[in-house]
Amino acid sequence: TLQRLKDTGLIQSEQGAKGGYVLAKDLEEVSLGEFIGMMEGPISVVHCALGTSGTQTQACEYQNKCEMTDIMQSLNSRIETFLKGIKLSELTRAETAFALEAVAHPEVRTELSSV
């Protein structure tokens, strides 16, 4: 997994006693959609929906006759657009805000842990 992220340029390795992996890109530059793509490959609700970027993938023998193909491709496109609109920096801010709220209001943390 780390090698895949390194290959995409998201992280880089540093040598030495304090070496390891560090972010190579600002979290403001990477969308959630791009990150998921780096980790999992193309996002698709069903195989035939991968054709949204202009390259149609023949997922099954019925695809040319299937009434759901266009709907699934539209849904997939909307999901991609939504995920690409969220920057990783937003997720870290949301997590930090949630953690601070839980510290400030322990009753919230108790309520959430019982869910």
Euclidean distance between CA atoms 7 and 1, whole angstroms:
10
User: Residue 54 pLDDT more than 50?
Assistant: no
- What average pLDDT does the segment 32-42 reach? 89
Which range (24-38, 52-66, 78-92) has the least confidence?
Answer: 52-66
Euclidean distance between CA atoms 68 and 60, whole angstroms:
12
pTM here is: 0.67
Q: In whole angstroms, how far apart are CA 64 and each of 8, 54, 77?
A: 34, 15, 19
User: Residue 12 pLDDT more than 80?
Assistant: yes
pLDDT in tens, 13-33: 888 888 888 888 988 999 999
